[in-house]
Structures are given as structure tokens and as C-alpha cells.
A and B are shown apart, each in its own frame.
Chain A
Amino acid sequence: MSDPMRIRAQAQGSGAVVRVLMSHEMETGQRKDAAGKTIPAWHITEMTAALNGKVVLSGEWGTAIAKNPFTEFVVKGAKAGDKITVNWVDNRGDKRSDEAVVA
């Protein structure tokens, strides 16, 4: 249902910098449509990032995270060839999972 994330994982020093672009409306629930009806909130509620299958970072998000969220973090001890998996779940129960290899 949703478009793939773009994950870039770059080895840097003793770890890896991971940059994730997610495709999501992140609708605040504050906007009204042309007919004056409130557009319901629709947003990622939780995300996780895993290194070779083990969760290293997680996030709980509200409606004030921007549309098409960009997140950057540093995974210690990650090296070229390691697998980074990012997951998200939204308030409608939609899920998305994508992975990338550390370059």
C-alpha cells in the first residue's frame, strides 16, 4: 500500500550513519477538506531500526513528525555488509519494512 523507504547506510569511523526517508502522509488531523470535514489523523506511530536482525533504535511518533519523515542516526560497530532493517507501523495498522546493506 505504501511506497518503499529509502535507506542509506554508510560506514563511518567505527560505525555506520543511517539515513532513512519514509513515504507517509503524516496527516495531522487538523486539516479540513474542501467540504469542511476534518481529514482524520493518519501517521506513523512506531518505528524501529535493526542491525542484522536486532533492534537498535525505536521511536514513538505523533502527528507533528513531518510528512515523508527523514531520520538519521548512528549505529555503533556496524560495518560494510551488515544489514539495516527499518520498520514502521501507523495508526491505521499499515506496516512497512525495508532493508539496506551498509556500504
Chain B
Amino acid sequence: MKAPALALAVSFAAPFGHGQTNNAPSAADGIAQYRALLADGNPAELWEAKGEALWKQKRGAKNVAFSDTCDLGKGTGVVKGAFVELPRYFADTRRVQDLESRLLSCMEAQGYNAAEIAATPFGRGEQLDLEALVAYVSAESKGMKFNLPQARPEERLMFEVGKRIFYFRGGPYDFSCASCHGEAGKRIRLQELPDLTKNPGDGVGFAAWPAYRVSSGELWGMQRRLNDCYRQQRFPFPGYGSDATIALATYMGVQGKGSVSIAPSIKR
């Protein structure tokens, strides 16, 4: 997206979807109706079912199940409510981790090579299992409010780093996350861009991922969502499960405190 097009998007932002004075249903109403019609029967449920099976299955060279060995922050094997408290600090890895990097740590405990999986392209190999797992884990927090812990200095540090990364401009177009997500009322064509510097509302922004993307028929976790944002900014991707992506997720999650998670949702 080039800067002039963004300016156009901003100038369209005010009349779009805000109190139409004419009688015809606005494009925003039409999109809302489309999304409502798709709400029941989200193909993400196919991933959830697969993820649940993977969670309980003994796998890897060590032949252990996530349900017996993986702590997502609320205790070994506990899935309910874990998603809305991530990223958070983990004592065993001494890192603040998001869901996907934490799943990688748990996969290492099963005998997998986390670095290899992180280097695997999206939609291939073990990345497919990660898609299923994030769908399942997030589904177990559906309807709950985001409440990331910020008690530890490591967690607060990641929040501060994430904020700086959010506003950091770079790349050939001098974009930052804030270029698109730093203000309310922005959109690209018919796609609204949530303001991620604050709580943008229930089920919006950070609270809507992982999601099934209708345009490609794929399930995207937050890592893939960030990867695609960076691609659109013509930035190199910071790396799957990297501290930079975890910091960004921490910033967005903390700013979105109290918003209700609808993950895994269904998206264009």
C-alpha cells in the first residue's frame, strides 16, 4: 500500500459506516450482513477438532502428550482460559512467550526440533499441526476477556518493547504498525483497520486471531497474521516466535485488556 492510497483511505474514513444520511443500506451494513451469515459453521472448527486430538495424543520422539506435559500458563495440561493470558512469562524457559512460541517449547519437550519448525513455511509440515493447536487452544478461551499478566518486570519490559516496535517506522515505505493501526476510523478499501493502540472492542483486532481466512481457506495464527502485516509493509519478517513478535503481541494484548476473544473467528 503506497502512502497516497492511505491518505485516500483516511479521507474516506469519516463518512464510511457512520450515520448514513441516505436510505440505501450502506456498504458497511452489507458487509455486516455477510459476516453474520457466515458466523455459524466456521471451518475453523475443523482445525479445532484436529487440535484437540493432537493435544491429547502421545507424539514425538519422547512419545508424550501436550495434555500431560505442556503448561500454557495455568498449569500442566490446562487449556481453558490460557489463551487470554498470553503472552506471559514462563519460569522454565525464562522468557515471555506467546501461544505459538510456547507450543514450540512444548514440542521440544516431545522431542521435536523447534528451530526447524519455526523455519518451516506456513501451511507445511508441523506448521499445520500448530494451526490446529492454536485453533483448539484459542477456542477453549472463546468468550473470555483478555487479561495478560503484567506483574513481572519481564512482562512489563515486553510491553514497552512492543510499543516501540509498534511505532517504529522503516522499510521502503517508511511504514510502522501505527501507519494502519494507530488511529480509529481507518480502512483499506472495504477492510476496516482496528485501532490497536487501545481496546478496539470485543472480537476485534487482537481478539479476533487465530482466524479462518475465507480468501485462502486457511487458518492463520497471530504469528502468520504478523508475518503478513510485515509483508505488506515490505519489511523482512522478524521470525516465527521471535521476541519481536512476542513483544508486539504483548503490547496489543495489554492494550486490548478486557476485550472478549472470539478466536478462532472467520475473516475475509
Contact = CB atoms under 8 A, between A and B. Distances in A.
A4 B42 CA distance: 15
Contact of A4 (B41, B43, B49): B49
A19 B46 contact: no
Interface string B32-63: 00000000111101100110000000000000
A67 interface: yes
Interface in A10-55: 19, 21, 23, 25
A68 B49 CA distance: 14
A72 interface: yes
B160 to A, nearest CB: 40
Contacts of B50: 3
Contact of B41 (A21, A23, A25, A67): A21
Nearest to B48: A6
Contacts of B49: 3-4, 6
B170 interface: no
Nearest to B132: A3
B217 A6 contact: no
Nearest to A4: B49
B217 A68 contact: yes
A11 to B, nearest CB: 17
A25 B43 CA distance: 12
Interface residues of B, number: 10
A36 to B, nearest CB: 20
A70 B45 CA distance: 11
B46 A6 contact: yes
A71 to B, nearest CB: 8
A4 B45 CA distance: 11
B46 A3 contact: yes
Nearest to B46: A23
Interface string A48-78: 0000000000000000000110101000000
Q: Looking at B41, B49, B217, which has the most chain A CB atoms within 10 Å of its CB?
A: B41
Contacts of B217: 25, 67-68
B216 to A, nearest CB: 9
A4 B46 CA distance: 8
A19 B43 contact: no
Interface in B180-218: 212, 217
A89 B250 CA distance: 45
Nearest to A23: B46
A72 B40 CA distance: 10
Contacts of B40: 19, 72
Nearest to A22: B46
Given A4-B49, A25-B217, A68-B43, 14 more contacts: A3-B49, A3-B50, A6-B45, A6-B46, A19-B40, A21-B41, A21-B42, A21-B43, A21-B46, A23-B46, A67-B43, A67-B217, A68-B217, A70-B43
Interface of A: 3-4, 6, 19, 21, 23, 25, 67-68, 70, 72
10 contacts: A3-B46, A3-B49, A4-B46, A4-B49, A6-B46, A6-B49, A19-B41, A21-B42, A21-B43, A67-B43
